[in-house]
Homo-oligomer: A and B are copies of this chain.
Amino acid sequence: MAVIIKAERLRKFATQLGQKIGLSEKDAYTLSESLVFANLRGIDSHGIVRLPFYLKRLETRGTNMNPVIKVIKEKPALILLDGDNGMGQVVGRYASDMVTKRAKETGMAYVAVKGSSHFGVASYYAYHIAKEGMAGIVISNATAVMSAWGGSKRIIGNNPLAFSVPYKKNEPILLDISMSGVAGGKIRLYAKNNQEIPKGWILNKEGKETTNPNDLLAGGTLLPFGQHKGYGIAVAIEILTGVMTGAGMMGQIPLWIKDLVSPLNIGHVFIAIDITNFMDLATFKKRLSWMVKKLKASPVSEGSSGIYFPGELERLTYLKRDKEGIPITSEIWSDLEALSQKYKVKLPFKSDIKK
């Protein structure tokens, strides 16, 4: 039985919790906005479910509550930041604000970050770049949960990639993908439901294909999407975010939800391209609409439910959840109740609960 919570109230609750732990109001809001952004778009695996882990890492000082984010290298269009082991969301929003400001001066800009932490969904930052009328590209490395193509063990992160451009009012084109074929959370869901998974999603601990989702937790590994292609992009992202920035690389990055005390030293890159240097936004959106219209007018294939632009399905979920509220499973609700009791922050949504 799920309860349904209005986004605004969920944000307020999470913000108050963050402040109780010791975050500034601004930083606590950034954390809550990022989590609720994911929930609103239907990416519940990266939403409020993760709040207890983020808070715990702050309590144990695995994540720095008051980071002093520093510019350590700087050229007109290229900046390297040290995130001082702060929250990924706080460091990420700092960097994504900086990259759009700089892009206004130089046409486009590139802000790389080392010393950051898990930053939630990459699309949150790309979305904020697109809100400034720019094209945004955001990448990050991550804990090694995926095999190399041809490999049988977890060796590299399923390094996320987000891309966004402004499209319609409050409706960007918003691509957000990781480099594994399927998310670990999806496989855990199959395991919970005692369902078989298709071949090609994971390997078991012997490096063999398997249809048993439990093999993932028992020493198995996620596979890259699109074989050598997804693997190749994961390596490219690892080079840009890890190797080139001085951040941790591959197996050097602890699993943040298990190891609550070690700094993560994750690396990110934020790119902003100011579209208005090429054409005014109205012309750009007109051309973009032509593209979307052509894509969506294409005949559909057998068994297809339709053709969508990147982020369109998430946008439909957003519209529904923004109006009706965000469904919260009973397990997550229990977590939130526990946080409410522990930190003496009132669960503020009783009136919105639906069965």
A contacts, CB < 8 Å to B: 73-80, 105-110, 112, 135, 147-153, 155-156, 161, 163, 165, 173, 175, 177, 181, 203, 206-209, 225-230, 232-233, 235-236, 238-240, 242-246, 249-251, 273-275, 277-279, 284, 287-288, 290-291, 294-295, 298-302, 304-310
Contacts and interface: CB of A to CB of B under 8 A. Distances in A.
B302 A209 contact: yes
Contacts of A236: 163, 175, 310
Contacts of A75: 106-108, 274, 277
A106 B299 contact: no
Contacts of A233: 161, 163, 175, 177, 233
Contacts of A105: 76
A291 to B, nearest CB: 6
Q: Say what secondary structure dominates the interface of chain A.
A: mixed
Contacts of A165: 239, 244
B307 A148 contact: yes
A78 B225 contact: no
A206 B291 CA distance: 23
* Copies of this chain in the oligomer: 2
Given A73-B278, A225-B226, 16 more contacts: A77-B108, A78-B108, A78-B273, A80-B278, A135-B239, A150-B308, A155-B294, A155-B298, A163-B233, A175-B232, A177-B228, A208-B302, A226-B229, A229-B230, A242-B291, A249-B294
Contacts of A302: 152, 206-209
Contacts of A152: 298-302, 304
B78 A107 contact: yes
Given A110-B108, A273-B110, A310-B236, A298 B151 contact: yes
B243 A291 contact: yes
A106 B150 CA distance: 39
A307 B149 contact: yes
B135 A295 contact: no
A238 B233 CA distance: 18
Contacts of A106: 75-78, 106
Contacts of A161: 233
A25 B233 CA distance: 36
Contact of A77 (B76, B148, B175, B209): B76
Contact of A226 (B135, B181, B294, B295): B181
A202 to B, nearest CB: 11
A76 B150 contact: no
Contacts of A225: 226-227, 229
Contact of A295 (B177, B229, B235): B235
A112 B279 CA distance: 13
Contact of A177 (B155, B229, B301): B229
Given A207-B302, A239-B135, A275 B232 contact: no
A8 to B, nearest CB: 30
Nearest to A288: B243
A232 B310 CA distance: 6
A261 to B, nearest CB: 24
Contact of A107 (B110, B227, B232): B110
29 contacts: A73-B278, A74-B107, A75-B274, A76-B105, A76-B107, A77-B77, A78-B106, A78-B277, A112-B278, A152-B298, A152-B299, A152-B300, A152-B301, A152-B304, A155-B294, A156-B295, A175-B236, A177-B232, A206-B302, A225-B229, A228-B310, A229-B230, A232-B310, A233-B233, A238-B291, A243-B291, A244-B273, A244-B279, A244-B287
